[in-house]
Amino acid sequence: MSMDFIGIGEATKMLGLSRTSIQKLVDSGKLPAVKTEGGHRRILRSSIEALNQKMGHKAMLRLASSQPGNLHRLNDLQSDQEQIHVLIVEDDEPTASLLVAVFETQYPDIKCSVAVDGLDAVLQLERVRPRILITDLNMEPFDGFQLLNMVSSRAEYQGISTIVISGLSDIEIQQRGGLPPEVLFLPKPLNMERLRGFLDAHVQIHRQYRALA
C-alpha cells in the first residue's frame, strides 16, 4: 500500500491552522513527518486525518498554540521577558485561527495562547499571567461573563487589559449584567483596524519600557 504524503501548505487547509501552528505540531512530534533531501517537511495524510478525528479542531488549536516540552522552557522564560503574552478565549475555530494568524504574521512582540472556553482560560491564568486577555462571551459551560467577573474581582489580575469580541448586541449584553467598565468591546464581525490600533499601542508602550529597562 502506497503512502500519501502532503506538504505543510495542504495540511494547513485540512486542519484550518496556520503554517506556524502546523510546524509546531510537527516539531513536537504530535504530527509525524519526514524530511525530503531538499529539507522540506512531508506529512502522512492519514496521520493528519487520524489526529483530527481523535482530538477535534478545538483541541488541535489549543495544542498547536501551546509550547513544546522541557527542552524549550529556558527559551520560553527568556522570550516571556521580551514579548507581550496574549490569551485568546474563543470556542469558534475560524475566529481563533484568524486572531492567531494576525499575531503570528504581524506582531513578533506578541506571544499568544488559546483557551477554548472560560474554564480552560481560568486554568491557563493560574499558570501564565497574560498582558492582554481577548475573550468571547457565549461559551459553555463557563462563559465570558463569568470569566470577566472573576478577572475584575481579583487583585492579581488587575494589570490585565481585556478585550471582548462578541456577536451579542449592547442590549443583550446589558440584559446579562453588562461588562466591566475597563473592557474594550469589539462586535462581530471583527473590525481588525480597531484591534490593530489597540495592539499597536500596547506594543509601542512595551518597546519603550524595554528601552528604558
pLDDT digits (tens, 9 = 90+) for 33-67: 676 666 677 776 766 766 665 555 555 565 566 54
Give me the domains of the chain, ranges plus CATH numbers: 5-57 (1.10.1660.10), 73-212 (3.40.50.2300)
Residue 16, exposed/middle/buried by CB under 10 A (0-12, 13-18, 19+)? Answer: middle
| CA gap 81, 71 in Å, rounded | 18
Give, in order, the Cα–Cα distances in Å from 163 to each of 32, 111, 135, 150, 200: 36, 16, 6, 15, 14
Coil, helix or strand at residue 39: coil
Q: Which candidate, 157, 75, 77, places its Cα nearest to that of 124? A: 157
- Dist CA 96 CA 64 (whole Å): 12
Q: Tell me the pLDDT of the chain averaged across its residues.
A: 78
Instruction: Give the other-Cβ count within 10 Å of 212's Cβ.
Output: 6
The three-class DSSP label of residue 49 is helix
DSSP code at position 70: G
Q: Identify the CA nearest to 184 among candidates 127, 196, 130, 91.
A: 196
- Is the CA virtual torsion 166, 171, 172, 174 positive or negative? positive
pLDDT digits (tens, 9 = 90+) for 106-139: 998 899 999 988 888 988 998 888 999 999 999 8
Assessment of whether the complete model's pTM goes beyond 0.85: no
- The count of other CB atoms within 10 Å of the CB of residue 50 is 11
Least confident of 25-39, 78-92, 180-194: 25-39
Torsion, Cα 19 79 76 135, to 10 degrees, reads: -60
Q: How many CB atoms lie within 10 A of CB 196?
A: 14
Q: Quote the pLDDT of residue 108.
A: 87
